[in-house]
Amino acid sequence: MKMRNTLCAIVLLTAIPAGMAIAGGVGGVGYGLQYFDQQYSSANSAYTFITGYGYGVSWGGSRFGGFGTAMLAADGTGAGGVGGVIVGHEWDAGPLLAALTLWAGVGGGGFVDSGYMLGFGEVDFELGVRVLPWMQVSAYVGFQGWGNLIPGYPFSRALFYSPVVGIRFGWGGR
């Protein structure tokens, strides 16, 4: 029994670093802004976003992680923050990478009329380059939506959606 426990411990202690070597991960910061388009935007509030994030990347390219985002309206009429999960997939070819990712979460925001608990979602397509084996720079385009969860019926009192563009700097890799 004692030998089997020791063997299990040895296998686990070697499997964990091996698994970390096979899978990779990235942590970084990003800056984005809403791009107003009359057909696809609910309002021209010109929000900017500063994001901190981290995710793991499986050997097959699946992404899973988390993020925190601060948001501020250019005219000062609203501010808030959200946090949540990152789920997606990335493809790489040498130093180049592409990814399709969903960012979803909850948070809070204050606007001219009230404060709300917010639901948040963003789908984006990212193109980047690994400047160094452990550092990447990416540009992204996507579509973002967020609105009130409470008070009121969900997405009834505050609902914003718009295309977004931005840049991300990440450290780590596969």
Q: What tokens were used for 109?
A: 């925001």
**Across the strands, what pairs with 103?**
86, 122
Q: What is the pTM of this model?
A: 0.81
Q: Is 82 exposed, middle or buried (0-12, 13-18, 19+ CB in 10 A)?
A: buried
| pLDDT digit string, tens, across residues 25-42 | 899 999 999 887 778 777
Domains and CATH numbers, the chain: 23-173 (2.40.160.20)
| pLDDT digit string, tens, across residues 74-110 | 888 889 999 999 999 999 898 999 999 999 999 999 8
- pLDDT for res 8: 45
